[in-house]
Amino acid sequence: MEELPPLKLDTEVISLEDTFNRKISQDIQSPIDVPHFRKSRMDGFAVKAQDTFEAEEDNLIALRLIETIEAGSIPQKTVSAGECSYVATGAAIPEGADAVVMVEFTDNENGTIFISKAVSPGSYVIGIGHDIKKGDVIIPKNSLVDLPTLGILSACGIHTVPVFKKPIVSLMSTGNELVTHDAQELEIGQIYDINSIVLKQAIENTGTTVNYLGIVKDDFKALTEQIEKGLKESDIVLLSGGTSKGEGDLGVQVLDTFENIEVQVHGVKIKPGKPLIFAKLHQKIIFILPGYPTSALSCFFVFIDDFLRKLSGYPLRSKNTELLEVGERIYSPIGRHHFKPIQVKHIDGTKKIFPIKTGSEAISTIFRSSGYIEIGELEEIVEKGDRRTFYTY
Amino acid sequence: MEELPPLKLDTEVISLEDTFNRKISQDIQSPIDVPHFRKSRMDGFAVKAQDTFEAEEDNLIALRLIETIEAGSIPQKTVSAGECSYVATGAAIPEGADAVVMVEFTDNENGTIFISKAVSPGSYVIGIGHDIKKGDVIIPKNSLVDLPTLGILSACGIHTVPVFKKPIVSLMSTGNELVTHDAQELEIGQIYDINSIVLKQAIENTGTTVNYLGIVKDDFKALTEQIEKGLKESDIVLLSGGTSKGEGDLGVQVLDTFENIEVQVHGVKIKPGKPLIFAKLHQKIIFILPGYPTSALSCFFVFIDDFLRKLSGYPLRSKNTELLEVGERIYSPIGRHHFKPIQVKHIDGTKKIFPIKTGSEAISTIFRSSGYIEIGELEEIVEKGDRRTFYTY
């Protein structure tokens, strides 16, 4: 699906706390130096380095302690020759001082500090802008906000952040047989709607907002109205069901009535999940997934998950792959590229691939599967003992 | 930190939509058979199989079409010998019928259906409970709810779910020098609080709820009150800062006043992030992380992240590891087990490890790092050309 167009997302300014996993919409510069004052790297005494040049263990230099400066407090006195101020780790270095002597190399006797080690100018002083300089681009446009990004933004005192809006997907399930999962009792012929709740979560997991439009009956007018509503309210419309009805394909029939729409059918030769309908209309995209939940979710992962993540900036799912031995012959229909859900079992300490006997009509198929293998269009049999790459969803 | 006790979490019943990534607190049984009626696997005609036994391409069997049954509708008529009903994929099989002939092997001439292929009883009929049987344990206790779990629960019409409550961590930052990131201007000596926002997100990423208690001054009474408040309101108290003050360790001084507390110091020999304080009090846990954000976050990942995830049931972070060549000599202090943040750079197409020159006082250290390597207590130098395992945080 390389032909999927990059949708253009609007931008918004949000509070720093809400930016985790959001995509930054413009280069962000630091408004301040970090640190913005000279600070001590250690607990010690701020001195004029020159005063310590002669200091050795057998030649202690005496300095007069004029102030104690804790982290967070403002130095009140300037250090002159022969003087020093106590500085805690992280505390501001007072005017006049240009180095810190670690507390380990000092002795305090009634306010006189004896120094046993020479320090050079700058020792244990973290300079202004040492970490980040005012005006530095700290986060480039299009970055995804992760924990270190939150840290940098906090350090610079930035509390509102320009980000791209999340893409919005309008979601609906279609089918006369579907009822919501909190319905009281099922009539004969009815089943609970699974795709709404599973696909809603799958879409949200990609950093995308869901605009849920409910269950739509297999009715031309109702479906047209809901697709139009979805196109108005979101960037992408995603519906499941209605692609393999005996009466023809209601979803495609509706799409064909839109002007300037480009409809493509994917995966006619793919199993499970035949077919996936994909349409472009102006700057919007419509997906129609198959109705069986196992097929719908497989199709979502194979075709749509990466697309939404690239759009939102979310990291792609790490698709674990392993080359494993097949533990039992697996059959596959000729002429279909098969994403075959399989189970991985430990046999004598070795992981092996086994077929799942239920089909895509069973919700438990994907539940019981460890992942899938790919079986080519021209392969009818994968023999026991073959080695195959196993993918997790 | 194997000695961390398993905290006992309470349970609650929540709406299915809110269960993603939550841990199920008791075995869940299906209240229904899935499917709960016999349904057709294909578009076709529901028949008595016996009627078709003689059917062949050159011996068509004629059956009278008595009804058309779409998915979701209730069959009104019983199929008798010589009769059939149209059934769409997923539609209910009517009484009397015991098999489905695929539409491909039929011809419809004015309400008479000609069958060209014999079917055996049960063909293309999905039986009651084929997928899930009423009373089956569909989700065992302690399962984490993932997408397939949501699917199974929906399929069974379950809409409220018993789960363990999320663990709660009370979080605070300590330090007189800290101000919130949305403060107007920094005074000399002040810095923006980074740990509150970064650790809050890091904790939430483990499926844990944060009870944020704000910035606490380096004041014995204030810190005691806030830790007591945290112990009352949550399972775990986590504070950062105050572990390396010149005046002694305020956090530990406060902890020592609690009765029956067990205080342990970890990582005295670890860099960065020395030390981590860990205390057990009755069934509660207190962590004190170092104040420097780079150290605090490293410490969190090395010691606390997995612990919280095991508690909430979240999957552990996948720690990518790679054996890479060291591109430049790296120094490390003797006597400290060092989790050294490093950069991975591509040199002539090969990934190599390079040291980061800034220390743990710089927020940009962790931001610029690709991950870390471990350097043993007795190693002072990692030579250029050595090969080391590189871990991502």
Tell me what the pLDDT averaged over chain B comes to: 88
State pLDDT tens for residues A151-190: 999 999 999 999 999 999 999 999 888 999 877 789 999 9
Domain range B168-312, its CATH number among 3.40.50.720, 3.40.980.10, 3.90.980.10, 3.30.930.10:
3.40.980.10
> Which stretches does DSSP call E strand in A195-241?
209-216, 236-240
Selected residue with higher pLDDT from B46 and B6? B46
Percentage of residues of chain B with pLDDT beyond 70: 94
Specify the pTM.
Answer: 0.86
Chain A residue numbers touching B202 (CB-CB < 8 A): 147
pLDDT at residue A275 in the model: 65
- Residue whose token pair is 């007069």: A64
The minimum CA-CA distance between A155 and chain B, rounded to whole Å, is: 6
Distance (Å, rounded) from C-alpha A351 to C-alpha A324? 7
A209-221 average pLDDT score: 94
Q: How far apart are CA A142 and CA A78, in angstroms?
A: 46
Confidence (pLDDT) at B69: 94
Residue where the block lists tokens 């064909």: A256
- Contact yes or no for B166/B14 (Cβ under 8 A): no
Q: Using a CB–CB cutoff of 8 Å, tell me whether A37 touches chain B.
A: yes
- Chain A CB contacts of B152 under 8 Å are 363-364, 367
List residues bridging with A276 in a β-sheet.
A266
How many residues make up chain A in this entry?
393
Can you tell me the distance from the alpha carbon of B144 to that of B137, in angstroms, rounded to the nearest whole number? 15
B71/A175 Cβ within 8 A: yes
Query: Which 3-state string (H, E, C) describes chain A?
Result: CCCCCCCCCCEEEEEHHHCCCCEECCCEECCCCECCCCEECCCEEEECHHHHCCCECCECEEEEEEEEECCCCCCCCCCCCCEEEEECCCCECCCCCCEEEEHHHEEEECCEEEECCCCCCCCCEECCCCCECCCCEEECCCCECCHHHHHHHHHCCCCEEEEECCCEEEEEEECCCEECCCCCCCCCCCEECCHHHHHHHHHHCCCCEEEEEEEECCCHHHHHHHHHHHHHHCCEEEEECCCCCCCCCHHHHHHHCCCCEEEEEECCCEECCCCEEEEEECCEEEEEECCCHHHHHHHHHHHHHHHHHHHHCCCCCCCCEEEEEECCCEECCCCCEEEEEEEEEEECCEEEEEECCCCCCCHHHHHHCCEEEEECCCCCEECCCCEEEEECC
User: Which pLDDT score is estimated for A272?
Assistant: 53
Q: What is the rounded end-to-end Cα distance, in angstroms, of chain A?
A: 18
Q: How confident is the model at residue B242, as a pLDDT?
A: 62
Out of B89, B158, B246, name the one closest to residue A244 (CB): B89
CATH number for the B39-126 domain, one of 2.170.190.11, 3.90.550.10, 2.70.70.10, 3.40.50.80? 2.170.190.11
Using CB atoms, pick whichever of A130, A157, A186 lies closest to residue B192. Answer: A157
Q: Return the minimum-mean-pLDDT range out of A17-26, B179-188, B231-240.
A: B179-188
**B29 token code pair:** 């049984």
Confidence of residue A267 (pLDDT cuts 50, 70, 90): low
Residues of A in contact with B175 (CB under 8 A): 71-72, 90
Indicate the pLDDT class of residue A348, thresholds 50, 70 and 90: confident
Closest among A107, A51, A50 to A82, alpha carbons compared: A51
Checking ipTM against 0.90, whether it exceeds it is: no
Q: Which of B43, B133, B154, B187 to mutate to test the interface with A (most CBs of A within 10 A)?
A: B154
CATH 2.40.340.10 corresponds to the domain B321-391: yes
Whether residue A223 is predicted with pLDDT greater than 90 in this model: the reply is: yes
Q: What is the mean pLDDT of residues B254-280?
A: 75
Asked if the peptide bond before residue A315 counts as cis, ω within 30 degrees of 0, the response is: no
pLDDT tens column, B8-62: 899 999 999 999 999 999 999 999 999 999 999 889 999 999 999 999 999 999 9
Nearest to A147 among B91, B153, B202 (CB): B202
Confidence at residue B267, expressed as pLDDT on a 0 to 100 scale: 59
> Rounded CA gap, A242 and A250, in Å?
6
How many pairs of residues across A and B have Cβ atoms under 8 Å apart? 221
Q: Coil, strand, or helix at residue A56?
A: strand
Report pLDDT for A194.
93
Smallest Cβ–Cβ distance between A37 and the set B36, B89, B188 belongs to B188
Minimal C-alpha gap between A197 and chain B (Å): 7
Residue in the block written with tokens 């101020």: A85
Top mean pLDDT of A55-64, A331-340, B258-267 is at: A55-64
CB proximity B131 to A under 8 Å:
yes
Q: Name the least confident of A139-143, A246-250, B56-60.
A: A246-250
Q: Which residues of B touch A33 (CB under 8 A)?
A: none
Residue B378 has pLDDT above 80, yes or no: yes
3-state SS assignment for residue B44: strand
B318: closest CA of chain A, how far (Å): 9
Q: Measured between alpha carbons, how far is residue B240 from residues B234, B270, B279, B293, B333 in Å?
A: 17, 17, 14, 9, 24
Higher pLDDT, A10 or B338: A10
Q: pLDDT band at residue A5, thresholds of 50, 70 and 90? A: low
pLDDT at A363 over 90: no
Interchain pair B181, A187: CB under 8 A? no
Distance of CA A268 to the CA centre of its chain: 32
Tell me whether residues A90 and B150 touch, CB distance under 8 A.
Answer: no
Q: Which residues of chain A are in CATH 2.40.340.10 domains?
A: 321-391
Segment A217-229 shows an average pLDDT of 93
The confidence band for A368, taking pLDDT boundaries of 50, 70 and 90, is confident
Whether the per-residue pLDDT at B273 is higher than 90: the answer is no
Which residue of A36, A71, A130 is in closest CB contact with B186?
A36
Q: Of A37-51, A373-387, B9-23, B73-87, which gets the smallest average pLDDT?
A: A373-387
Q: Is A277 left (phi over 0), alpha (psi -120 to 50) or beta?
A: beta
| pLDDT the model gives residue A283 | 84
Phi, psi at residue A149, to the nearest 5°?
A: -60, -45
Q: What CATH code would you report for B12-33+132-164?
A: 3.90.105.10
| DSSP run (H or E) holding B170 | strand B168-174
Residue A6 banded pLDDT, cuts 50, 70, 90: low
User: Which residues in chain A have Cβ-Cβ distances shorter than 8 Å to B176?
Assistant: 70-73
Range list for CATH 2.170.190.11 in chain A: 39-126
CA distance A372 to chain B (A): 14
Task: Name every residue whose Cβ is closer than 8 Å to that of residue A66 and which is 6 or more positions away in sequence.
Answer: A77, A79, A83, A84, A85
**Scanning every residue of chain A, which has its alpha carbon at the shortest distance from the alpha carbon of B86?**
A246
Q: Where in chain B is the domain with CATH 3.40.980.10?
A: 168-312
pLDDT of residue B84: 97
Minimal Cα–Cα distance from A260 to chain B, Å? 32
Specify the CATH number of the domain A11-33+142-164: 3.90.105.10
Q: Measure Cα distances from A58 to A84, A106, A113, A116, A121 in Å.
A: 20, 12, 15, 7, 22
| Residues paired with residue B23 on neighbouring β-strands, in sequence order | B144
Q: Tell me where in chain A the CATH 3.90.105.10 domain(s) lie.
A: 11-33+142-164
**Mean predicted confidence (pLDDT) in B265-289:** 74
pLDDT in the model for residue B244: 47
Distances (CA, A) of B247 to A45, B41, B176, B224, B244: 14, 76, 13, 17, 8
Residue B68, pLDDT above cutoff 90: yes
Q: Could you tell me the two tokens for B54?
A: 């003689």
Which site among B16, B138, B182 would you substitute to test the A interface, given the most A Cβ atoms closer than 10 Å to its Cβ?
B182
Contact A202 B90 (CB under 8 A): no
pLDDT of residue B205: 95
**Bigger pLDDT: B27 vs B252:** B27
pLDDT, position A4: 64
For residue B364, is pLDDT > 80?
no
Q: B245 pLDDT exceeds 60?
A: no
Average pLDDT, chain A: 88
From its phi and psi, is residue A323 left (phi > 0), alpha (psi between -120 and 50) or beta? beta
Q: What is the mean pLDDT of residues B118-145?
A: 93
Q: Choosing among B178, B181, B215, B274, which should be mutated to test the A contact, i.e. which has the most A CBs within 10 A?
A: B181
Is residue B176 less than 8 Å (CB to CB) from chain A? Answer: yes
Beta bridge partners of B265: B277
- Find how far residue B295's CA is from the centre of its chain: 25
Inspect the interface and report whether the beta carbons of B182 and A72 lie closer than 8 Å: no
Please tell me the predicted confidence (pLDDT) of residue A280: 85
For residue A86, the chain B residues in CB contact (below 8 A) are: 246
pLDDT in tens, A55-109: 999 999 999 999 999 888 999 999 999 999 999 988 999 999 999 999 999 999 9
Distance CA A23, CA B71 (A): 43
B34 at interface of A, judged by CB pairs closer than 8 A? yes
Cβ distance A364 to B75 less than 8 Å, yes or no, reads no
Task: Read off the pLDDT band of A379 (50, 70, 90).
Answer: confident
User: Is pLDDT above 80 for A242?
Assistant: no
Confidence of residue B6 (pLDDT cuts 50, 70, 90): low
Distance from CA of B358 to the nearest CA of A (A): 8
